[in-house]
Chain A
Amino acid sequence: MTPQSNFMVVVPVDPKHETELRQLLDSMNQGPGQVDPNNALIPFAKFDTLHFARFVILDDKTTEDVRVYRLTPRSYPLYLAFLGDVDGDANAFLDQLIKRARNGLGRIFSCCEGFTSDTDLLVWMKRHHAPAIAAYVNWRGRTVRQIREEVALYEALENYIGQNSATFQHLPPRELHERLRNFVNAEKSASRLILSPESPTPLGWQIRNLLHLFGMPLLVLITLPLLILLAPFYIIALRHLEKTDPEVCPRADQQHSEDLSRIEDHDVTNQFSALGSLKPGLVRLLTTSGVLKTVNYGARHITRPGRLGRIRSIHFARWVFVAGTERMIFCSNYDGSVESYMDDFINKTGFGLNASFSNGVGYPRTNWLVRDGCIDERKYKEYLRRHTLVTQVWYKAYPGLSAVDLERNTRIRQGLESSSMTDEQARDWVALL
């Protein structure tokens, strides 16, 4: 299995070059929200291990919100974030990226502070790396290459079925499975279809994964007596905060909403970037870390492929602290419109949403960390929309395909690999076609 990894470079924009940067980023697009995959600066389509990538300027319009805590808003520098999700090792990808897009990257980063013509790109990018505190991968191990091979498989099957529909309509599922299996094997032998076998899982990754799998529970176990001892104090403190933390959920600015809508729904998948300040204090910081480490652990070791709770529309997602621990950014790639994304979250995993986002300044009031909160749907949607950033450039390696599409194709392929099926399995498999 080839595990997926991610990278994120966060660098302050040189105020003198902000306009130039925005123009440069804009030049990578064919239209609003639609990147040119072969653009001259970074020809994303040339990288066959890259799933998603984006450039987003962290133009935080909500820094004033901390005033509700009588804090003076910090004047943060304007950051540029460049992030992506890749197959295999992220550093190996960055090497490749620099080889092929040195000039483009150089032009973009020279609009940022501390970058000069003789800066070593790789060292610089690594130095500004912002690690994810929690990350979600829809289908661990499924590479871009596998996705593309499985799309080709699906299309070949569809064509073949279309040509033989009169015969195939009346075949019982197991017989049909057999016929299609033979067809695919013949196509593979003739090299018209390629279904590459899984690569071996890197040993280093396996070790790290096992350490994480057992290390985290072990750590919890060791600290359990302390945690139990502190729990009552923590609960009292959290409940107090929950009852007193102010909500900041005014209407999102209409112009801002329209700027966001303009770049959305050009594909069945959309990008989402939201940034906000964390509520002050240790309790909130610990809660955030604890919840996100749990999410990360669950996403990595427990979730079923293709699902985050009941949600099947997220390709990749991550939570990252921005320069310190005061602000956090959440980035995801999801299928459908933002309205259906928010509804799905509220109705299907409202508890997770509350636990992970309620530590943000102004979030609708929660109770016991997981209750209420986003159930105040109107406030929640305004809150989220207000914190959403306009993403400048967004690339997806498989346009027009949803996560559920990818799951269908993978299930079809898996079904082809099994030589015998029960009637029920065969029926379910045929229903995928």
Chain B
Amino acid sequence: MSRVEFADVQGLVRFGYGHLTEASYALVRVKNVAAAKAWLHSTRVTDAAKSPTNTAINIAFTAPGLRALGISESVIAGFSQEFRAGMAQESRARQLGDVGNNAPSNWAWGSYGCEPHAVVMFFGKPEQFGFFVQSTKGTPWSDAFEEVTSLGTSNLDEHEPFGFKDGISQPQIDWEQRRQTPCTQLEYTNIVALGEFLLGYRNEYGKITDRPLLEPDSASAELLAANDAPTKKDLGRNGTYLVMRELEQDVRKFWQFLHQQAAGNIEEARQLGAKIVGRMQSGDPLVPTEERPTPGSDATSTQQNRFTYHNDPTGARCPFGAHIRRANPRNSDFPEQRIGLLRKLVIMLGFGPKGFYDDLTSSVRFHRILRRGREYGSELRPEQALAPAPPNEQPRGLNFICLNANISRQFEFLQNAWISNAKFAGLAGETDPLLGNRERIAGYCRPSANFTMQKENGLRYPLSGLPQFVTVRGGAYFFLPSLRALRYFAGTGNA
């Protein structure tokens, strides 16, 4: 399979641009197609060849956005169903837990029928950022687009607004495509097939995810040929899907609730917070880390990412329902490691481990996402958060962004089967303690506002009546095209 041409991939796939500490996301609708195409044509979108020094700009489109640019329905039909239908569709919202306060009808942007057409993401060093954004949004921009909203971000020094170090766990992309797929993975690995994050390459099943393949013509001439259909032009190749959600975090409510549960002891409140997140505020996991890097991680990987829950099967150290254990259960294809063919067969036929909590969670390697989001709002330390909010307090939260080649198997599965599943890993009825919407469990009279902390040798310790800490304020599914596909959209191929 051919090598990745980094100059054709948008930089965001390869880099988080950590050194470009300023960022903002402009959500726009196309006002004038010709002007929009002219702007796209003239804008130098940052590629992944090398990490940019001072500024970066990346662009992604929703399905209505592609339509607005005049892309034909037959081309759009080649994109995935979830991308075409959008995040705010009613059935999908129900599956994602976007009901009640989180319902799309309450969103500030992105509700059904009011989707933005594109997101333009600006990154820069503080000294260049203002000018960079201003100059990029010159005349063609204002003719071309109507800004739905512009989401600001803030640099909280790698911590999310609740005060926990964030962004530690990221999959490592197999850019060189050395990973043999399909395979059986008996150990948790952090390396993930390129096709999970970039369209046009083999994924964890050894297959290439669906995307639009075009007949060669003058418009598509510049596009690369499809790896699995050499006579077709691959519009998806080197592109991927981008999921964006504006998640408002009520930092005061979070720490005030924990403080109250801890009977006024701030240290104990921090401990409770750590159980909820699955990490200390410093980012240290609740289970011991290992000396050797996780298989597939390079030696430079952070110590805080070197662990699995293999030695915590009861959840006594890190509760089953803790946020990071839900979001990445760090398991493998089988509930046991280092097993032979016979044992595999025994397990496959259902005669493996018979404990109640054994083997309840799907293998994680099919459900990884690459997180690229950034925080917004000002820092508020736990002690400060205990005070009542001043009038006109500015909101805080996370502009969540993740990249994945298959939204339904990656982001949606994670959000549905793990984050908002009241029955995750054998739990009786609780959703993610951080992100949960606290609505009643589907079909049941009980609310999901609980959090259980398991113990090694005794009764679990429950928290109940959790308020909603995080509210969804907006969201959409975007396609982050390759630079070639961008030029195709901009219509340069037509010339």
Contacts and interface: CB of A to CB of B under 8 A. Distances in A.
Interface string A242-261: 00000000011010011001
A170, A378, A431, A432, most chain B CB atoms within 10 A? A431
Contacts of A375: 182, 205-207
Most buried by A among B352, B442, B456: B442
B458 A176 contact: yes
A265 B442 contact: yes
B31 interface: no
A358 interface: no
Contacts of A268: 422-423, 441-444
Interface string B79-92: 00100110001111
Contacts of A408: 356, 426, 428
B205 A312 contact: no
B458 A430 contact: yes
Contacts of B454: 431
A310 to B, nearest CB: 6
Contact of A176 (B89, B314, B362, B459): B459
A165 B356 contact: no
Interface stretch (B16-24, B152-160, B407-415): B407-415
A89 interface: no
Nearest to A263: B91
Contacts, number: 147
Interface string B340-351: 000000011111
Interface residues of B, number: 58
A169 interface: yes
A339 B408 contact: yes
B423 A376 contact: no
Nearest to A402: B423
B91 A262 contact: yes
A432 B413 contact: no
A310 B442 contact: no
**In the complex, which of the residues B77, B417, B426, B458 has the most CB atoms of chain A within 10 Å of its own CB atom?**
B458
A311 B354 CA distance: 12
Contacts of B442: 265-268, 400
A400 B355 contact: no
B312 interface: no
A433 B92 contact: no
Given A265-B442, A343-B413, A377-B409, A430 B426 contact: no
B263 interface: no
A337 interface: yes
B94 interface: yes
Contacts of A311: 350
A408 B428 CA distance: 9
Given A254-B84, A266-B442, A431-B357, A347 B366 contact: yes
Given A268-B441, A351-B348, A312 B91 contact: no
B428 A304 contact: no
B222 interface: no
A264 interface: yes
Given A404-B423, A404-B426, A377 B458 contact: no
Contacts of B289: none
A399 B443 contact: yes
A339 B350 contact: no
Nearest to B357: A431
A348 B348 contact: yes
A171 B458 contact: yes
Nearest to A378: B210
A168 interface: yes
Nearest to B203: A377
A405 B459 contact: no
A215 interface: no
B363 A337 contact: no
Interface string A344-383: 1001110100000000000000000000000111100000
Contacts of B412: 339
Contacts of B85: 254, 258
A343 B362 contact: yes
Nearest to A379: B207
Contact of A267 (B314, B351, B443, B460): B443
A309 B314 contact: no
Contact of A312 (B333, B360, B443, B456): B360
B250 interface: no
B409 A343 contact: yes
B409 A339 contact: yes
Nearest to B354: A304
A276 interface: no
Given A265-B91, A312-B360, A377-B409, A173 B458 contact: yes
Contact of B366 (A309, A343, A378, A430): A343
Contact of B348 (A171, A254, A309, A344): A309
A22 interface: no
Interface string A376-411: 111000000000000000001001111011011001
A269 B443 contact: yes
Interface string A404-433: 110110010000000000000001101111
A433 B356 CA distance: 12
Contacts of A257: 81
Contacts of B207: 375-378
Given A168-B459, A265-B91, A405 B428 contact: yes
A254 B94 CA distance: 18
A309 B335 CA distance: 13
Contacts of B205: 375-377
B421 interface: yes
Contacts of B408: 339
A336 interface: yes
B457 interface: yes
Nearest to A404: B426
Interface in A282-307: 303-304, 307
A165 to B, nearest CB: 7
A401 B423 CA distance: 9
Contacts of A396: 443
B416 interface: yes
Contacts of A377: 205, 207, 409
A337 B417 contact: yes
A161 interface: yes
B348 to A, nearest CB: 6
A340 B459 contact: no
Contact of A337 (B416, B456, B461): B416
B191 to A, nearest CB: 18
A296 B456 CA distance: 40
Contacts of B84: 254
B446 interface: yes
A336 B442 CA distance: 10
A202 interface: no
B147 interface: no
B360 A309 contact: no
A309 B459 contact: no
Closest 7 CB pairs of A and B: A400-B444, A267-B443, A261-B91, A399-B443, A400-B443, A340-B417, A307-B350
14 contacts: A161-B459, A162-B462, A169-B461, A172-B457, A254-B81, A262-B90, A349-B348, A376-B205, A399-B443, A400-B441, A404-B426, A411-B356, A428-B355, A431-B357
Given A304-B351, A376-B207, A400-B443, 12 more contacts: A168-B459, A258-B91, A265-B94, A266-B94, A268-B441, A337-B417, A377-B207, A400-B441, A400-B442, A408-B426, A430-B459, A431-B357
